[in-house]
Amino acid sequence: SDGDGMAALEIARLITKDNDACLMVATHFINNLMYHEGMAFLNSKPWRDANDKRILGAKVRMEGFLRLNRRDYHGAVLCFQKALAAQPDDEHVLSDCAFATKDLGNFDDALRYYGKAQQKDPKKSKPCI
């Protein structure tokens, strides 16, 4: 519910002491499909080092999920590609790119992204196509 999301957001702001904790909280919001709360959290600037590329990556990844929810697949792909530029070895972002490019109908690129994600972590990567 909305109240639960806002409570989670307030707790998240209180417990983040460094960038690693901030990224863990952002990932929690993504994994629980709480994209609006996740963006509010990241926009509240809870991190300590604003130059950390992982923070930029998390923020544009969250925006990508918001765009996916609005069926703005092209916008989602652009966001996930920006996240990938910030976090090129993140198998989750590679999978996000695969999923969004598949929704655009670009199956060759989707398979390429998925193949890279699977190379990064064969045990965790699951087919999205």
Task: Kindly state the average pLDDT of the residues 119-128.
Answer: 63
More confident residue, 43 or 98: 98
Structure token pair of residue 102: 């598949």
- Using the 8-state DSSP alphabet, how is residue 48 labeled? S
What are 12-21's pLDDT values in tens digits?
Answer: 655 556 666 6
Contacts of 50 (CB under 8 A, 6+ apart): none
| pLDDT value of residue 77 | 93
Structure confidence at residue 129 as a pLDDT band (50, 70, 90): very low
More confident residue, 7 or 85: 85
Task: Kindly state the average pLDDT of the residues 17-41.
Answer: 68
What are 61-71's pLDDT values in tens digits?
Answer: 888 888 888 88
| pLDDT value of residue 117 | 86
Return the residue matching tokens 């919001």: 29
Distance CA 93, CA 122 (A): 15
**Alpha-carbon dihedral 97, 103, 109, 110, rounded to 10 degrees:** 60
Q: Where are the alpha helices (DSSP H) in the chain?
A: 2-15, 19-31, 35-43, 53-69, 73-86, 91-103, 107-120
Structure confidence at residue 48 as a pLDDT band (50, 70, 90): low
